[in-house]
Amino acid sequence: MNSIKRLSLVAVVAVLMTISVEAQTEKTYVVEPGHYSWLEWNFDEVTRVVTRFRARGGSGNDIEVFILDEDGFENWRNGHRAPTYYNSGRVTVGRFDVRLRPGKYFLVMSNTFSSVSNKVVNFTFY
């Protein structure tokens, strides 16, 4: 009976060790018409980024969100094509779950398509 209790306890501990606690952080950004804003991330190890975002403002309540590496961000800022790790297209609500290798990355919120309206973008990072 003792060995069964020990095995059960070991199984419970093993399950608890595999459950990760998800911390949730909310951030809000304002992106002016005809402009873009960005967050810069530097990762020393493979990192999983999980988020949901929602845009408000203008007639479409829309925003474009990208994740680019350092070279991609430089190319994109200069009007050139750039590969993305995430590209939302023009949306009101979006989510992503990406794993990024060590390096520098940029989360870009683009409102360059709008000539009139600010966009308020609320991110929930998990």
Mind listing the pLDDT tens digit for each residue in 37-95? 999 999 999 999 999 999 999 999 999 999 999 999 999 999 999 999 999 999 999 99
As a whole number of angstroms, the distance between CA 63 and CA 6 comes to: 54
pTM: 0.80
Residues in CB range of 60: below 8 A, 6 or more apart: 90, 92
